Structure 1
C-alpha cells in the first residue's frame, strides 16, 4: 500500500517504479538478447559461406612455358578453371603426345591450332598443311612460325635453281633443335618444317623435296 500522500504525488512515484521495473527486466534479459543476436549473426555467416561457388569449366593449359616442336608430356600440362563462356574455341581434348606447333606460355589454353595437324591451316584459307624436310638443318633453324617464304629447289649435281612455290607460310617447326642435340638433325638428316601449301603446289613441292636440294627465300 502506498504511503499516505496526496493523489497528485502518487502518479510520478508509480511511473518511476514502472520505469525501474522495465529497466530491471531489460537488464535481466540483456545476455539472452546478446546471445540471440550472436546466433543470428553466426547463422547468416554460415549461410553466406555455404553458398555454392560460381560455375566453372575445366580447361587444359600449359603448366610452364613450352617451346615449339616439343612432344607434350603430362608434366607440361595442367587444368585451370575458367568461367563459362570465357574458354577459347577448339580446345585440344587429347594434347599429351602431340607435337607443339608454336610456343605456349604458362597458363595459356591448349588449342588445336597450337598442335601439329590439320587445324594448323586455320587462318590460311585454301591451304593444306604439308610437312617438308629441308636438307640443311641450320638453315631451317632460322625459320619461325608465321614466316612467309618462297621454296626454291636446286639440283645437287648442277643446274639452275627453280622456284617451287611462292608465298608459303611456315605453320610449324616440329623437330626443334633442342630435341636433337642442338643441331636440328634427325636420322633422315635436315629439319622438318610444316608449311601451308596450295593444293596444286603439293605434288611439285613433294617431288622437289624428294629429288632436289630444297631451300627457301624470305618474303619481304
Structure 2
C-alpha cells in the first residue's frame, strides 16, 4: 500500500514537471524562436543583370525587406557600399551582393600577371584531354592538385607533394582567350563552347621546374580541391608554401595532409 502511494506521488511529480516544462516551451522558448525566424531587415540586391567587370550603378540595385535569419555573413546590405564598385562576377537579377564579388578597381584581362612580385611565377600547363582539365569546369581562383600520369619510361602515376595545392590563375582556350573573358568579346556560339587547352598556375620556381619535367615526360591531370572564399583558399596555399620551404631547405618537409586536418591550416 505504501509503495502504491509512493508510485502515485512520483507520477504526480513527473506530470507536474512535464506541465511546467511545456508551459516554458510554449510561452518562453517558442515566442523567442518565432521572433528570430520572423525578424526582418533591409538589404540591397541586384535589380537587373550586371556583367563581370561592369561598374555597378545605383539604378541596377534595389532595397528590399527580407527575413534576417540565415543571411550570408559577408552580405552587403547598404546600396552606398555597392554603387560605384566593379563586379568580379556576373550578377543576375535577384542576386544578393557579397563582398567577394566586388572590386574597387576596374578589371583588366591578364591583370593576374601584373601582381607577380618575383617570389612566384605564372606557368601554363597543357590540358591533354577533356578529363584532364576537369571536363572544362576549372575556373580562375580554384585550388587544384596536379597529378602526374604516364610519367617517364615506367609510365608512373603519382601526386607530387610539391603540387598538392596549386592556385589557378587562368583557364585558356586554344584561341588564347581566357575562360573568364570568353563571353565579353562577342564570340560566336561555337567559340564560346571552345574547350580550355591550358591552365595557368601560380608556382614557386621549384614547382615550375617540376611541372616542366612532367609536361615533357608525361601528362598532367588537375583535380579540384577547393573553390570559394579567398581567405580559405589562402590557407591551402600557406600549407603548400610551408612544404616548399622545407623542400628548398633540404629538411623534413611537413606532411601536407596533417597540416590541414581539422581546418588548422595557417
TM beyond 0.5:
no
TM-score under structure 2 length normalisation: 0.36
Larger helix share, 1 or 2: 2
Q: Which has the higher contact order (CA 8 A, sep 6+)?
A: 1
TM-score under structure 1 length normalisation: 0.42
Structure showing greater Rg: 1
